[in-house]
Amino acid sequence: MTVHPNDPTLPEARMHVVLPGAAVTAKIASSDSCIRGKSASFVRHIGVDLSGTPLEGTFLAGQSFGVVVPGLDAKGRPHKVRLYSIASPSYGEDGFGRVISTTCKRTIEEIADENDPTRSDGHPLILGVCSNWLCDRGVGDEVLVSGPNGKRFVLPTDPSAHDYIFLATGTGIAPFRGMIHELLVGPPEGSPWRAKWSGPCRSRIHLVMGTPYRTDLLYDEWFRALATAHENFTYHTVISREPLPQPGHGPHAHHYVATRMEHFRPLLASNRTLIYACGLAGMQVGVFQALATAGLGGGYLTVHEEIAQIHPSQWTTEQIKRRVRPTHRCMLEVY
């Protein structure tokens, strides 16, 4: 990847201190619902106490950790590791890097399989193995963990050198809870991280959070309170499926930015700005297209010559997935 003068300098993130095959035992420190109201989805904010393991103090906000469900899968093999973004800042929930957290959504689906006679009712219920196991744990229960994972989706070494647009869908909010805590709230008194913290970051920070329904907003009150307390932080919520005055679905996070391009343009055009997008696989397609269509792809995207002559609004999803790459100023974590 080409390095540009305004690329962020990222800290050296530690990775794979503990491998999934040798996962260590941690304990559930907390488990609380983090949706805004009654919702069709179930999402929990889960604290994990790493005390006494080699993972203590190793995580940076934005990284993820592995969870290994004990026992064997349907094929008699050990369960594969699942990754979860940490929702805590680098100093952890406790200020000492001992308690990390995540934002775990129970996977609940009906998936038909006509070739499987055990599913003859045509609408079998699929309960995701790890997310439901993790959400079922209570405080004090043991959990096998590994990590840290990922080194690029982290805040720059000097946060004040940049402005930020954070784009989240659903549990993609997790890393931004940690990052925004670090940028605006900071480590508590007594934390060894406190001396290194230079106070609330004064950069421009925009968080765009997209969910299907208003009740699916995560950590909503916390973000609202921060937006009230810090004039440089703006919290945008984008609801895609609630009834609109006109027929059809409401906007997704990238539509929101695209339709308010004149509002976002000065920020996006600034070479200080970094974009972080986290959430459902595929969300990057809309983000890349919106940026390029507005003529703002320059610092954030590398476009393959094969499609360079095509107007970005005409790019197909396949072309964007194969022929557009983010630069160091556009960080992606999609799953």
Ligand X SMILES: Cc1cc2nc3c(=O)[nH]c(=O)nc-3n(C[C@H](O)[C@H](O)[C@H](O)COP(=O)(O)OP(=O)(O)OC[C@H]3O[C@@H](n4cnc5c(N)ncnc54)[C@H](O)[C@@H]3O)c2cc1C
- Residues binding ligand X (CB under 6 A): 64, 82-85, 102-105, 107, 109, 111, 126, 128-132, 171, 174, 333, 335
Residue 276, beta-bridge partner list: 166, 331
**What residues have CB less than 8 Å from 265, skipping those under 6 apart?**
294, 296
Phi/psi of residue 82, each to 5°? Answer: -115, 140
**What residues have CB less than 8 Å from 154, skipping those under 6 apart?**
10, 11, 13, 60, 61, 62, 63
The least distance separating ligand X from the CB of residue 6, rounded to whole angstroms, comes to 26
The least distance separating ligand X from the CB of residue 198, rounded to whole angstroms, comes to 28
Identify the three-state secondary structure at position 301: strand
The least distance separating ligand X from the CB of residue 53, rounded to whole angstroms, comes to 20
Task: Look at residues 88, 22, 27 and name the one whose alpha carbon lies nearest to residue 58.
Answer: 88
Nearer to ligand X, 163 or 333 (CB): 333
Beta strand 82-85 with 43-49: parallel, antiparallel or unpaired? unpaired
Nearer to ligand X, 201 or 275 (CB): 275
Which one-letter amino acid corresponds to residue 104?
A: C
Nearer to ligand X, 182 or 333 (CB): 333
The least distance separating ligand X from the CB of residue 331, rounded to whole angstroms, comes to 12
Nearer to ligand X, 149 or 319 (CB): 149
Phi/psi of residue 223, each to 5°? Answer: -65, -40
Beta strand 108-110 with 43-49: parallel, antiparallel or unpaired? unpaired
Nearer to ligand X, 275 or 303 (CB): 275
The least distance separating ligand X from the CB of residue 210, rounded to whole angstroms, comes to 15
Which residue in the block uniquely carries the two structure tokens 């539509």? 255
Task: Look at residues 224, 325, 326, 238 and name the one whose alpha carbon lies nearest to residue 274.
Answer: 326
Cα 82 to the center of its chain, rounded Å: 15
The least distance separating ligand X from the CB of residue 119, rounded to whole angstroms, comes to 8
Nearer to ligand X, 125 or 161 (CB): 125
Nearer to ligand X, 104 or 330 (CB): 104
- Where do the H-state alpha helices sit in 137-282? 174-180, 220-229, 253-259, 261-269
CB 289 within 8 A of CB 318: no
The least distance separating ligand X from the CB of residue 44, rounded to whole angstroms, comes to 9
- Residue with nearest beta carbon to ligand X: 128
